[in-house]
Each structure stands twice: as C-alpha cells, then as structure tokens.
Structure 1
Amino acid sequence: MNITETKNVAFYTLGCKLNFSETSTIARSFENEGFNRVDFSEKADVYVINTCSVTENADKRFKTIVKQAQKSNADAFVIAIGCYAQLKPEELADVNGVDLVLGATEKFNITDYLNDLTKNDFGEVHSCEISEADFYVGSYSIGDRTRAFLKVQDGCDYKCTYCTIPLARGISRSDTLENVLQNAADISAQGIKEIVLTGVNIGDYGKGEFGNKRHEHTFLDLVEALDKVEGIERLRISSIEPNLLKDETIDFVSKSRTFVPHFHIPLQSGSNHLLKLMRRRYMRELYQERVKKIKQTMPDACIGVDVIVGFPGETDERFLETYNFLADLDISYLHVFTYSERANTPADKMDGVVPQNVRKKRSKMLRGLSVKKRRAFYERQLGNTLEVLFEGENKEGYIHGFTENYVKVKMPWNPTYVNTLHLVKLTEIDEDGLVRFEFVNEK
C-alpha cells in the first residue's frame, strides 16, 4: 500500500467483548501498514465502525456514529464491518457518508481495500455468503483496557429462534490450542494482568475449521492449558451456556491458579415453555443445578445472568415465573435485554407479541431486581479479604477496580495503582453502590 504520509485511523466498537477483541486485532493490522491510531473523537482519515446486530438499538446507533465521524472530518473514509455489516450490507452502504462495507470474511483483510481513500458516491459492498465464513481468525484486545479480551472461538451452531448471530458469524469453529496459548503469552508479555476468554459460544470450544465437528480439544482442555501460562495473574470466563458448563470445569476453576470465581451464564427465561419456544438447549432445572454446583464449590463466586424480556408468548404469568425464579436464585447481577424483532429469525413470525410498553415495564422490574441482587452479593462480601486489580481510568476523581469475584471497588484517584494487584479488606458500600476498602499488608 503506497501512502506517502502517515494517515490517522479511528475505531468505534458496538456490542460484545468479541467485537472489542476483533477491533483491536484489526487496528494492529492498520498500524502494521503505517497508520497512526487516534481516538474516535479526533480527526482521522479513516473511521472504522465495528457493528453489532443483537438489538434494534445497535442498528440505530450506527447512523449517529457515522454522523459523529463526519463532524470530525467530512472527507474521511468511513468503513462498516461486523455483524450488521454481514446481515444488511446494502442497508449500511445506503447510509450517507459510508464508503465501504465489509462482511464476515473480508473484515480481517480490511487494509487490502485501502489503496484509494477517495470518498465514494455510494457505499461499496464486499460481503460473502455466510457459509463461506468457515475459517478461523484469532484475535485479542490490547491497550484499550486493563483486561485483555482473548477470542478462542467464533460462530454458533445453535438455532435460538431470536438470534441472528449464526447468520452474521457462521458455523461454530475454534482456534487451535497452540495458537490460543501463543496469544495468551503475547498478552502476558505486554504486562497485562487479566485475560477474559471470549467467543460466540465458548463452551463449544474445540470444533475445528471448515465445519469439522470433531473436537480436537474440549473447553476443559483449554482452561487447564491456559492456567499454566506464565505471567497471567487472572483468567475470566466471559459467558458460557449452562448446558456446556460442566462439573469438571467448575471443579477445576475452584482449585485453579488463575481462573477467578466469576461466571456469566445466559438464562434468557425462567419459563420452560418460553425456553422451548426460544429453542434453548436446557430447562430451568438444569440452570438451577449449575448455580447450586458453583455455590457449593465456591460460596463467594459471582454469577451473572443474561435474561430476555418480552419474547413472543411471554404472558404476565410466564414473566412472573422468570421474575420469581431469579429472585429465588443465588445469583449476583442480571444483564437484561428487551426482546427486539430481528428479520429472518423464527421468533419474528411468532404469535403472542408483547406490547412495547409492557416490555419496558418488565425490563424495569428486572433491572430493579438486579440492583437488589448486586447489593445483597456485595453485602455478603463485606469483611472479606480479596485481591483487587485496579483499572486505568480516572472517573470523577476515583480509581476503580474489581476483586477476583467481580466486586467493584473505588478509592481516590492515584495513577500509581493502575494495572496493579493489591490485597484489600472490603469495609462498606458507598451511596453509589461501589465498595470501599482498606489495604491489607501491602505486597
């Protein structure tokens, strides 16, 4: 690529940790081509927006972000990549200011498309049939946060009736164990203390490339091998399906050197009727068992839950089933998603559509329950001595950090603590819901 002067590139990431890891890897490919990375709020020659399609809101935000880029530099070359770019490339190409849209396989070759940065009258589309996304590209994020997101798996073979991800990312496929360990070692060499494992369905780890469904290694093999990587202080499992979180993994995490007692397990509904309509691969009883097993093995473990409200067929009774099920479970917080209709999904054609105002009200109820759950979990941690990893951002005069079991703490800003680990005793919950502490025999 012949670019005589150094060009600036900026990135904006919508959606999940997996997107963040891929943005970071794509950014490094730009740096290798001589680009200088700047913040998205600054003037750049190229703006790359990594899109998400999980909710309608993520779709709408795309236009706002394009406008933001144009405000910084009306002549900038604007590129859309990611899930929404794969699902609806023409729609994104039609957005005023967008020059290039790259699908699931093309996004990792993004710099090949940059020989000419002249603005296009119309967005140019390069996308594939999703069946062609049958190879694996590893990625990890570095430099954006104290923690690194390490991608170990991509795509999904599950057919949940509300989800577009298999259409946007293709079949389930995994990185080789050797490559994951090499990436983890690279992250460790940068002085990063914590790695979060990420993917679309990481419990399915082991499926090979090109639709080869034979598992070379299992998820348990992966965590056992990663536990031995030198220099990494903490490993965190980001999100894992309840039916794929096995007893052996829970037992291993409880005794592990680096894996922390924090699990994020999607539930989606506490109603077995709705779980069947969603085509989830478990019933609520299995979910209950997973929570019980974790708490028996690690009483102080933090458990986060994904839940969808307003799915077609969610009557008042079925919503209350979910609410009461969650209220009785020993969990720590909720991620609440309001169901939004997605084209080309079976749920989009289902009966029993829940009115928007009812979805909103139910969402508010579950968010309120999440606040109570988090508070109760934090209260049970007071008096405990835990290890905190401090983050890198000055937030209104405070530095924040997380304990191994994901309790968020704060103290007055002090840059010398960034990316360092300290033993602390949790003392009280502040009015903002975060926890204050005192240091224990400083390391």
Structure 2
Amino acid sequence: TPRIFGNRIRHRSIHSIGKLAQSFHDIRFLSPNALAYGTDGIHPDLRSIHSLLRELSRIPDKDIFLGTFPGEIRPEFVSEEAVDLIARYCSNTRIHIGAQSGAESTLQKICRGHTLSDVWKAIDHCTDGGFTPVIDIIVGFPDETDEELLETVSFCQEVARIGYVHAHRFFPLPGTPLQGRVSRDLIPEVVSALGSLALSGRLTGSWNNPEIRFFSKISK
C-alpha cells in the first residue's frame, strides 16, 4: 500500500526467491501486481519477471502460478507478451485482474490509475491467450452513487459471459484517504444481480459482508 509504505517497491533477488521456492510444494506469488516484479510499479517491463520465471522453471517438480488470487495483476500490465510468458512457464489456466470497479467515474475518484478500456484490453489478451479472466471488483465505496453501482453490476454481467468475477465489499485501509470511512449500503437491485451471478457460479467473494473481505479458495 503506497500511502503506508511509500512508493518505492522492494523486490527480493531472483537468487533469494529461487532458494525459498525450493521449500514449497507449488510456487505462488502474493502481490498486488504480480507482473510488476523488477519495475517501478508504474511502467511495465517484462525483463525481470521473465528472468525470474525462467530461473524458477528449472526447479524440478514445481508448478508455478502467476496472476492467481490473491496475487492479481493490474490491467495495464497485461499484454500479449505477458500472457505468452505466463503460458510458457506457468500452470494456471486463469488470470486474476484487478479492475476494482466497473464505473469509469469511480476509477477516477479512487485514483486507480487505469481505465475500463485498459480492463477490457487485458481481458481480450487473456482470452486470446487461452486463459479465463477473473476480474476483481469492490462494491460499496463510501461516495459511490446508485448509478455507479449499477454500472459495476452491468460490467460484472458482461464479464460473467466470458469469465468470472471476484467481488468484495469496501473496507478502509489505515493511512489512506478513505481511512475511517464505512461501506455504503447496497441497493436491492445490486444485491439481486450479484446474488444471481453468485448462484450461477460466475461470481465469488464476500461482496455482501464487509467484515469477511478477502477469504477465498485459490483456483488454478
């Protein structure tokens, strides 16, 4: 969280990661942006993550999972080359992308740093590469309007036709501008629509319970 720990991302060396990875059954990455390894977190550069994956692939009998929950990928970092890299070295069949909202105005208000267009481009790259996209969204931002909530629901319904949605309720992080704020109530139309997607198996997460938040089964 940059507002808590600063804007400089710290990365373990490839040697350190490789040494630690020997002790695990599978190799998984816990990261807010798994493709940002070796970068400033703003400008995509695949050279470091390529070197890391290549080195890890030399460890025998280890499955590598990159871009699976809870280690999602920011949409603007997803490219054809990035998807090809994951396909070459990794075992996952899904790629988890952090969209956070389906309303353009909400993305701007929370200073997310990407657009809905970026999200759809990332989804296209995933499906073109043979991966199933799983899109992370948050509902109930304190200043979110009914219209913005409905835009996010519409977005989720579109995503559900080709992939999955992982939804959770807004929860404030200490040290951020929304510290101390509480989630707004969800209108009945939103509860009904998200509930229908959940019943159909296309949506998971704790979107209707702000206290549970992030717990979820890890999927391949």
Structure with larger RCO (C-alpha < 8 A, sep 6+): 2
CA-to-aligned-CA distance 1:146-204 (integer Å, 9 cap, x gap): xxxxxxxxxx44xxxxxxxx4168842111011112222333xxxx2x32211343322
CA-to-aligned-CA distance 1:204-252 (integer Å, 9 cap, x gap): 21159xxxx9x89522332333233222134343311112223212012
**Alpha-carbon contact 2:138-2:169 (below 8 Å) kept:** yes
Which shifted more, 364-373 or 279-288? 364-373
**Alpha-carbon contact 1:336-1:367 (below 8 Å) kept:** no
Partner of 2:59: 229
Partner of 2:83: 250
Q: Verify: 1:280 aligned to 2:112, yes or no.
A: yes
**Alpha-carbon contact 2:66-2:92 (below 8 Å) kept:** yes
TM-score, normalization: structure 1?
0.39
Residue identity in the other structure for 2:79: K
**Pairing of 1:202-217 with structure 2 (within 5 A):** 202-207=34-39
| Partner residue of 1:366 out of 194, 199, 203 | 194
Q: Verify: 1:335 aligned to 2:166, yes or no.
A: yes
CA distance in 1, matches of 2:59, 2:175: 42
Partner of 1:196: 28
CA distance in 1, matches of 2:64, 2:152: 33
**Pairing of 1:380-419 with structure 2 (within 5 A):** 406=220
1:186 aligns to what SS in structure 2?
A: coil
Residue identity in the other structure for 2:151: E
CA-to-aligned-CA distance 1:245-268 (integer Å, 9 cap, x gap): 2321201223x2543222111111
Partner of 1:63: none
Change (3 A) 1:184 1:169: farther
**Alpha-carbon contact 2:98-2:137 (below 8 Å) kept:** yes
2:133 aligns to what SS in structure 1?
A: strand
CA distance in 1, matches of 2:34, 2:66: 12
CA-to-aligned-CA distance 1:299-341 (integer Å, 9 cap, x gap): xx23222211111332222111111112112443322221134
**Pairing of 1:8-407 with structure 2 (within 5 A):** 156-157=1-2, 166-167=3-4, 171-187=8-24, 192=25, 194-207=26-39, 218-238=48-68, 239-254=72-87, 256-298=88-130, 301-329=131-159, 330-348=161-179, 355-356=184-185, 358=186, 362=190, 365-372=193-200, 374=202, 406=220
**Alpha-carbon contact 1:333-1:371 (below 8 Å) kept:** no
CA distance in 1, matches of 2:170, 2:189: 13
Identify the structure with the greater strand proportion: 1
Residue identity in the other structure for 2:29: L
Shift of 1:364: 6.1
Residue identity in the other structure for 2:194: L
CA distance in 2, matches of 1:359, 1:217: 45
**Alpha-carbon contact 2:64-2:91 (below 8 Å) kept:** yes
Shift of 1:343: 4.8
TM-score, normalization: structure 2?
0.74
Change (3 A) 1:227 1:374: farther
**Root mean square deviation of aligned Cα:** 3.4
Number of equivalent positions: 200
Change (3 A) 1:373 1:288: farther
Gaps of at least 5 residues in structure 1 are 1-155, 158-165, 376-400, 407-443
**Alpha-carbon contact 2:100-2:136 (below 8 Å) kept:** yes
Residue identity in the other structure for 1:279: C
CA distance in 2, matches of 1:176, 1:234: 17
CA distance in 2, matches of 1:368, 1:167: 37
Residue identity in the other structure for 1:250: V
